[in-house]
Amino acid sequence: MHYISSGQGSAVILIHGLFGDLDNLKGLGKSLEGRHRVVRVDVPNHGLSPHWQKMDYPLLAQAVITLMDSLQLAHAHILGHSMGGKIAMATALSYPDRVTSLIAADIAPVSYQQRHDQVFSGLEGIDLSGLKSRSEALKQLLAAGLDEGTAQFLLKNLSRTDQGFNWKMNLAGLKSSYRDLIAWYNDIEAEDFLQYSKPTLFIRGGDSDYITSEHRQAIMSQFPQVQAKTIEGTGHWLHAQKPAIFNRIVSDFITKHEGK
């Protein structure tokens, strides 16, 4: 996986969500790098990372461990937002000895309903070969029914070359893997059910519906050492909406559980 590393100290790995890249958590990284070695990653099929035709959480967890091995990191604190939170959870569940503590931002270890059909439709509706400008792409996404904030976020994936425009992300690979990305593989009824019993923090947006009371049992069953924080007045993009509060919560949690 492509990554950017900064700072020194105990390692913290930051993992972005669907359609994002390593810049999504750049502000958090800057707030942590004074005391930690911060590793921000591009998830496969995103940013500058390799393109995969199949993505699922066991494979993505293995990719995190492979990166840690290449960086000679025996263990790390791992934080992920949305899909990245599921990758962080999967890494902690499958490789608990490598994960010092876990932070999941506005996502639960459960299967979700499809909620990105409009996004895929809007992105696929853009004819890159005939695209003249980024503003033209924005107009097309807005015409497809996407709000401007979502459209601007998605257009961070648009790259201009001498030949024209292309997507940095692997749109086809993301679409073919989408069912696995909204699903969850760790069945609490199964004999090979996994648990992570080290310090865990779930941070949710007060206005978000990604973590609800219905998810409480699934969270506590898989992460018995869990704590939870809610940031009021934020939605799913809580780290961008109230960064100072979010960054402080993360820093305090990591400092409290350093080396445990």
> Which residues form the catalytic set?
82, 236
Q: What is the residue-wise DSSP string for the chain?
A: --EEEE--SEEEEEE--TT--GGGGHHHHHHHTTTEEEEEEPPTTSTTSPP-S---HHHHHHHHHHHHHHTT-S-EEEEEETHHHHHHHHHHHH-GGGEEEEEEES--SS------HHHHHHHHTS-GGG---HHHHHHHHHHTT--HHHHHHHGGGEEEETTEEEESS-HHHHHHHHHHHHS----TTSTT-----S-EEEEEETT-SSS-GGGHHHHHHH-TTEEEEEETT--TTHHHHSHHHHHHHHHHHHHHTTT-
